[in-house]
Amino acid sequence: MKAQKPSCLPVRIKTSLVVTAAVVIFSSAQAANRYFSVTDGDWSASGNWESSNLPGSADTATVGQSDANSTRASIAHARINAGDNISITRLTIGNVGANGTSAEGTVTMTGGTLGISGYLLLAETANTSGTFTLSGGTVSMGNTIFLNRGGGSKGAMNVSGGTINGTSLYVGGTNGSSSATTNAELNVSGGSILLNDIFRIAHGNSTGNSTGVVNHTAGLISASGVEVQSANGGSGTYNLSGGELRIGTGGNNGQLRGGGAGTRAFNWSGGTIGVGDSSLLTVANSLGSLNLLSGGSDAVFDTTNTNAAAARILVQSSITGDGNLTIRGIGTVEFANSVVTYTGDTTVESGTLLLNASSPTSVKSANVLVGSVATLGGNGSFTGLVTANGKLAAGGVGSVGTLTFDQLLTLGDATIQWDFVDTANADLYTITGGIDFSGGDPVQISINALAGSTVNENDTFTIFQGDVSGIVASNFVVQDDLAAWQGNWKVRITGDSVQLVAVAIPEPSTCAFALGGIAALVLCIRRFRM
């Protein structure tokens, strides 16, 4: 009998198992923790890493590691240069391991690309410091950047150029339930930090203190929201003196807010607070105050969002200090807090500044200038000088309200938006320091009848009340709303008010009778002379 040929199936299975095991072993060997092993050197040089193993896309990398292994540099500086293309799962800068004492890590990036699918951790454990400096190139993050979350001496990030694309950024924050004190600093003098999630400064828990400081002098920081907060007695500070802080990304309405039981400060001596691709940015009352500082350029609110659409910036916090504020864009800045005590100048270049607190807002700004394409409106008072070359709208356009001017109101090429329902419910401008008509041309009163409005012949409406000395009717020209009143409007000056009086247009028969009488009188005069 012919011998049966052995089956090759077990051999194939065995071979497959061997190959699979080899792949697993190979993959496991590639996914490892890699440690920088020299005090100063290029990231891309394999000899600068422990066992000459460059970190790969499945690896974590640590620069500045203190533990029992002497091949790992506890004080280390790694350089990422133009042309480098790095991909890793996590980067830790400054870390103390088993039997370690202290560590100091620094990474300087001048070009190239750095992709991190997980976290970027600076000063991750106690007795460490970690610094990341970016002047060129692109960093792409898959998870959060933590500047000192583990109680290290200090975690610092310095950005003067290049771009960071990330999710969220924490400047000082405790790790989990840690009670450690953290200290972190972010210095931005150029480049861009683009986040699609929250940006937190001094984020602590119920037991740990954290101190976080942001010094923003130029460049762009963009995030869905910004939180300046602390817990358990820590402190958070944002110093904005240049560049732009843009809030509200991913179509989500943005917030600049505070939180926690510690102290917080937002010092603003220049630069811009703008809106991302959302329609609303709220500066929450929990922030405490926006503190305007003099000595720099004007602080700027920009109400045109990144989609070139109008946005609303709702300021619920107080505004204090002695710096200047400029408002620009095509949207609205709304002061929703009655405490607006800053004494610097206010320039409304474009868009609208609206006073809209639950109780009338008193603005202490020394000088207010309203540009030719800008609007100043709402309910409240201005204690300084006001010059209007644009539109004044008591109550806001489309609603009734009162604006009070404690010092001289200068009306250049201005328009008075006057909304009314009836004689008891109409816009009013209260004047204490007089009115100066410096524009030369008459000031236009634009009449807008609101829903349910009624006007009868001889109805009298007061527009300006107070010191109206020197004002004559020819200082004004009325733009009528024919839908509200088919007659005419007459400007009348009394002792302390400027009024609008509804007067009827004479009937055609009355006009004809009057003309006939005039013609008869002329005929009589001619006959008498003959």
pLDDT, averaged in runs of 10, over the chain (530 residues):
45 41 44 95 98 97 92 96 99 90 96 98 91 99 91 88 98 66 92 97 71 97 92 84 96 90 92 98 96 96 97 98 98 96 98 95 97 98 98 96 98 95 97 92 93 93 96 93 78 96 74 46 42
Non-local CB neighbours of 12 within 8 Å, separated by 6+ positions:
none
Q: And the tokens for 83?
A: 């042309």
Q: Which residue has the tokens 């843009």?
A: 246
Task: Please answer whether residues 498 and 468 qualify as being in contact, where contact means their C-beta atoms are separated by less than 8 angstroms.
Answer: yes
Q: Is the dihedral of CA 423, 424, 427, 429 positive or negative?
A: positive
Task: Please answer whether residues 55 and 85 qualify as being in contact, where contact means their C-beta atoms are separated by less than 8 angstroms.
Answer: no
DSSP-derived 3-state class of residue 502: strand
Q: And the tokens for 433?
A: 């320091």
Question: What is the model's pLDDT at position 251?
Answer: 84
Looking at residue 492, its amino acid is R
Q: Distance from CA of residue 49 to its chain's centroid?
A: 43
Distance set, CA 49 to CA 38, 57, 74, 344, 414 (Å): 7, 15, 13, 55, 70
Phi then psi dihedrals of residue 16, to 5 deg: -60, -45
Task: Please answer whether residues 304 and 333 qualify as being in contact, where contact means their C-beta atoms are separated by less than 8 angstroms.
Answer: no
Distance set, CA 399 to CA 396, 403, 421, 426, 464 (Å): 6, 12, 9, 9, 17
The b-or-e profile of 118-149 (16+ CB within 10 A means b, else e) is ebbbbbbbbbbbbbbbbbbbbbebebbbbbbb
Beta-carbon count within 10 A of 165 CB: 15
Non-local CB neighbours of 230 within 8 Å, separated by 6+ positions:
202, 203, 204, 209, 210, 211, 212, 236, 260, 261, 262, 263, 264
The candidate with the shortest Cα–Cα distance to 160, out of 104, 220, 112, is 220
**Residue count of the chain:** 530
Q: What's the rounded Cα separation, in Å, for the pair 400 and 402?
A: 7
Question: What is the model's pLDDT at position 100?
Answer: 82
Looking at residue 153, its amino acid is S
Question: What is the model's pLDDT at position 54?
Answer: 97
The candidate with the shortest Cα–Cα distance to 315, out of 285, 342, 358, is 285
Question: What is the model's pLDDT at position 169?
Answer: 96
Question: What is the model's pLDDT at position 217?
Answer: 99
The b-or-e profile of 440-477 (16+ CB within 10 A means b, else e) is eeebbbbbbbbeebebeeebebbbbbbbbeebeeebbe
Distance set, CA 285 to CA 315, 317, 426 (Å): 8, 4, 31
Helices then strands (H, E): number in the chain?
2, 47
Beta-carbon count within 10 A of 22 CB: 10
* pTM (global) more than 0.85: yes
Q: Can you give the residue ranges of every domain in the chain?
A: 32-503
Q: Determine whether 279 is exposed, middle or buried from the number of CB atoms within 10 Å of its CB (0-12, 13-18, 19+).
A: middle
